[in-house]
């Protein structure tokens, strides 16, 4: 016999609701997961919530276990941590991460979940998908020992990138953001902080995550000759405007995109997406990532919380959703 669960749906742009959904019994090679925590990937999920996914990107922007279609109704999300209640013996009772939307319980193939190390609490484990994005970016960027690097945009992705870069010997990392309160986060991540106006130039590498034209322009301006910007931003239907009449040409500057949907070319032949996700969870043994967990709400509050996250009236890095009282 199956059971009932509850899921968060975007009914239409700007309007969310909780809907009942049937959850079937798991079959061979499947697991039934009861959710403990999920995380709101604020940049992407806010864009989806606002209805900002371009029609040309509807197919490529689908989440692994998405139901419905853009712009809505759609069940969207991909930062989910839960406990396996039924499934293979080696997974039963284990805490796992899955790229699943906000739902109280669900059935997926066993290979779709990755075991969370015992030292990693569920509230931190929800960052696995974001740390995975950061890993892919570093594979794309190939930073070197001793590099001078700026990370422009101190959101979830930018902060995860900064934390990983800061672990490389001799690398000087500056986290750049328009919000001065992000300086406290930078200190917790053990990297420098600067406003866009005060950020040091002459960078070997800049990682851009702010999803703004101004942020991307400033990223290019911070480069040393022949330096490269790696752009992780997802702009959706927002137009991007750049001025390339300055040092872009004479300085032989580079601008490259990095996107987590495909393993970076530098590792594509030797790492699978599952390998990359497992690595992310191993790296989350680092308690420094707790600085990114900025708040928690109950699952039932999601229809009221998501609009506030989307419009910025609820400031957050990684806002987590708790299911534990249900």
In a domain, 269, yes or no: no
Looking at every residue in the chain, the average pLDDT score rounds to: 95
In a domain, 173, yes or no: yes
Q: ∠286-291-292 over CA atoms, to 5°? A: 100
Q: ∠154-158-162 over CA atoms, to 5°? A: 105
155 closest CA partner among 258, 234, 94: 234
244, 306: one domain: no
235, 140: one domain: yes
pLDDT at 325 over 80: no
Residue 312 has what pLDDT? 86
The predicted model gives 253-281 an average pLDDT of 94
pLDDT at 1 over 80: no
89 closest CA partner among 33, 29, 35: 29
Q: How far is CA 238 from CA 47, 154, 213, 220, 232, in A?
A: 10, 20, 9, 19, 15
In a domain, 264, yes or no: no
Residue 43 has what pLDDT? 78
pLDDT category, 205, cuts 50, 70, 90?
very high
In a domain, 7, yes or no: yes
* Chain centroid offset of residue 219 CA: 20
Residue 3 has what pLDDT? 72
109, 149: one domain: no
CB 28 within 8 Å of CB 89: no
Distance in angstroms (rounded) separating the CA atoms of residues 273 and 99: 12
111, 150: one domain: no
Residue 12 has what pLDDT? 96
32, containing H or E segment: strand 30-40
**Burial bucket for residue 261 (CB in 10 Å: 0-12, 13-18, 19+):** exposed
The predicted model gives 197-201 an average pLDDT of 97
CATH code, domain carrying 29: 3.90.180.10
The predicted model gives 188-212 an average pLDDT of 97
Tens of pLDDT, residues 123-169? 999 999 999 999 999 999 999 999 999 999 999 999 999 999 999 99
236, 300: one domain: no
Could you give the 3-state DSSP secondary structure of residue 6? strand
In a domain, 36, yes or no: yes
Between 2 and 206, the higher pLDDT residue: 206
Range of the domain at 158: 131-257
110, 162: one domain: no
22, 121: one domain: yes
pLDDT at 91 over 70: yes
pLDDT category, 326, cuts 50, 70, 90?
low
Distance in angstroms (rounded) separating the CA atoms of residues 195 and 213: 16
In a domain, 300, yes or no: yes
pLDDT category, 70, cuts 50, 70, 90?
very high
Q: State how many domains the chain has.
A: 2
Pairing state of beta strands 203-208 and 223-231?
Answer: parallel
Tens of pLDDT, residues 37-56? 999 987 789 889 999 999 99
* Domain limit, last residue, from 212, 242, 257: 257
250, 297: one domain: no
| Runs of H (alpha helix) within the chain | 42-49, 122-125, 128-141, 156-165, 182-188, 213-221, 247-250, 273-283, 302-311
Residue 184 has what pLDDT? 96
Residue 2 has what pLDDT? 58
99, 214: one domain: no
Residue 315 has what pLDDT? 83
pLDDT category, 307, cuts 50, 70, 90?
very high
200, 296: one domain: no
- DSSP lists the bridge partners of residue 37 as 81, 322
Between 8 and 44, the higher pLDDT residue: 8
11, 95: one domain: yes
Tens of pLDDT, residues 16-39? 999 999 999 999 999 999 999 999
In a domain, 266, yes or no: no
In a domain, 273, yes or no: no
Q: How far is CA 48 from CA 9, 61, 152, 264, in A?
A: 11, 10, 23, 25
59, 114: one domain: yes
51 closest CA partner among 14, 7, 102, 11: 14
The predicted model gives 107-134 an average pLDDT of 96
Give the residue carrying structure tokens 């900064």. 162
pLDDT at 106 over 80: yes
The predicted model gives 273-277 an average pLDDT of 93
The predicted model gives 178-185 an average pLDDT of 96
Distance in angstroms (rounded) separating the CA atoms of residues 26 and 156: 33
């Amino acid at each position: 016999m199956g059971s009932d669960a509850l899921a968060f749906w975007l009914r239409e742009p700007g309007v969310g609701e909780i809907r009942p959904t049937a959850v079937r019994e798991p079959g061979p090679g499947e697991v039934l997961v009861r959710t403990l925590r999920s995380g709101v990937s604020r940049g992407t999920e806010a864009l989806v919530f606002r209805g900002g996914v371009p029609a040309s990107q509807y197919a490529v922007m689908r989440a692994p276990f998405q139901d419905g279609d853009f712009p809505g109704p759609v069940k969207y999300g991909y930062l989910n941590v839960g406990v396996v209640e039924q499934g293979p013996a080696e997974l039963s009772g284990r805490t796992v991460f899955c790229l699943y939307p906000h739902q109280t319980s669900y059935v997926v193939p066993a290979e779709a979940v990755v075991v969370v190390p015992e030292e990693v609490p569920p509230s931190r484990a929800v960052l696995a998908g974001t740390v995975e994005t950061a890993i892919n970016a570093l594979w794309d960027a190939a930073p070197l020992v001793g590099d001078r690097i700026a990370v422009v945009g101190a959101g979830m992705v930018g902060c995860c990138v900064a934390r990983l870069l800061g672990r490389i010997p001799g690398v000087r990392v500056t986290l750049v953001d328009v919000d001065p309160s992000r300086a406290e986060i930078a200190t917790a991540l053990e990297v420098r902080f600067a406003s866009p106006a005060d950020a040091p130039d002459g960078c070997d590498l800049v990682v851009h995550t702010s999803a703004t034209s101004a942020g991307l322009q400033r990223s290019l301006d911070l480069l040393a000759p022949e330096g490269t910007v790696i752009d992780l931003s997802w702009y959706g239907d927002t137009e991007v405007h750049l001025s390339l009449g300055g040092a872009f040409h004479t300085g032989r500057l580079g601008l490259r995109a990095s996107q987590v949907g495909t393993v970076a070319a530098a590792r594509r032949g030797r790492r699978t997406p599952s390998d990359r996700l497992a690595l992310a969870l191993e790296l989350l043994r680092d308690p420094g990532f707790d600085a990114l967990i900025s708040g928690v709400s109950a699952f039932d509050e999601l229809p009221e919380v998501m609009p506030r996250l989307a419009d910025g009236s609820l400031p957050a890095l990684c806002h987590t959703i708790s299911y534990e009282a249900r």
